[in-house]
Amino acid sequence: MGRNLLKDQVAIITGAGQGLGQVVAREFAEEGAKVALIEINPQTCAETEKELKDKGYPVLAYPISVTDMQAYRAVVEDVIQKWSRIDILVNNAAIAIYGTILEDNYGDWRKQLEVNLDGYYIGVKSVVPYMVKQNYGRIINVSSIQGFASSGMCGAYNASKGGIIAFTKSLAVELAPYNIVANVVAPGFMHTPMSFIDGVDETTTEEFLTWYVGKRKVPMARTGYPEDVSGTVVFLASDYCRYMTGQVLIVDGGLTSTF
Ligand SMILES: NC(=O)c1ccc[n+]([C@@H]2O[C@H](COP(=O)([O-])OP(=O)(O)OC[C@H]3O[C@@H](n4cnc5c(N)ncnc54)[C@H](O)[C@@H]3O)[C@@H](O)[C@H]2O)c1
């Protein structure tokens, strides 16, 4: 049910093989955008590409890791060669590894910062020269409510998500002279493959159903779905978002408004 909010805009979306990234890719295409998918999993990357192609949307797919700067740069050059510009970057690909500070290890810390922080930096660094030349750009960095609150068990993930908020504010200040805006979407609970921890869907556990739903700790009394968040990403990518930059839009069913 697209309204052509992104008509002819060229967008790169990372982590587009499943979860939020896949839904954002779908909605961007429905809104008229040309979408370039980046996804480390070649199978899910090809599946999203096929779905969009079969519907007749313009799509390019790149099964690479966001941590590979050389490959990322080659992707950006290819998109520019084929579609001449890059208007939107959605930094979305991230990983979460669970464990307290007593259990986790430095390797896990590094891995998460490499994907969740370095990967976002590499994306911005690769596209920004083209956005500067165009004097136009929209950067949307997907963070999390875990960027400013924690339920424990994922210190490195939280650090990366908080870091992304600070990074986005810096981008907002530095890139405003080039008509490039940078904002953050911070989802709360979201039912995606990432919400499965050790094979258990955290949005269906007894704790979730009694505390977050039953006692309305999430005031909307349900988990979120990628489709609850993707519209906010569309807004931030659209021309409606031309004077807002450096901001964090929280999409959590009210969770962080309670105490
Ligand atoms: N699911 C949640 O509850 C939740 C809550 C708040 C924020 N978020 C954030 O939303 C975003 C999307 O999460 P999701 O739930 O859709 O996750 P997901 O795990 O379902 O999907 C992430 C996608 O990114 C891909 N990916 C991982 N590492 C990559 C790499 N190095 N290079 C390229 N692709 C890579 C994965 O293969 C996967 O397809 C993430 O930034 C996440 O931190 C999720």
pLDDT digits (tens, 9 = 90+) for 80-91: 999 999 999 999
Query: What is the arithmetic mean of pLDDT over 134-160?
Result: 97
Q: Give Cα 3 to chain centroid, integer Å.
A: 22
What percent of the chain has a predicted confidence (pLDDT) above 90?
A: 97
Mean pLDDT to the nearest integer, 167-193: 98
Query: Which pLDDT score is estimated for 59?
Result: 98
> Which strands sit side by side in the sheet containing 180-187, from one edge to the other?
59-62, 34-38, 10-14, 88-91, 137-142, 180-187, 248-251
Compute the distance between CA of residue 147 and CA of residue 185 in angstroms, rounded to an integer. 11
The pLDDT value recorded for residue 2 is: 81
**If you average pLDDT over residues 15-23, what whole number do you get?**
98
pTM of the model: 0.98
Query: Tokens 């669970």 identify what position?
Result: 98
As a whole number of angstroms, the distance between CA 56 and CA 177 comes to 36
Residue identifier of the C-alpha nearest atom 7 of ligand 1: 144
Q: pLDDT at position 164, please?
A: 98
The average pLDDT across 203-227 equals 96
**Alpha carbon 182 to chain centroid, angstroms:** 13
Q: Which atom of ligand 1 is nearest to the CA of 119?
A: 31
Output the CA 14–ligand 1 centroid distance in Å: 9
Residues involved in catalysis: 157
Superfamily for the 10-257 domain: NAD(P)-binding Rossmann-like Domain (3.40.50.720)
Ligand 1 center to residue 177 CA distance, Å? 31
**Tokens 């083209």 sit on residue:** 130
**1 pLDDT tier (thresholds 50, 70, 90):** low
Ligand 1: lining residues by beta carbon, under 6 Å: 14-15, 17-21, 38-41, 44, 65-67, 92-95, 115, 119, 142, 144, 187, 189-190, 192-195
Looking from the CA of residue 18, the nearest atom of ligand 1 is 39
Nearest CA to ligand 1 atom 38: 15
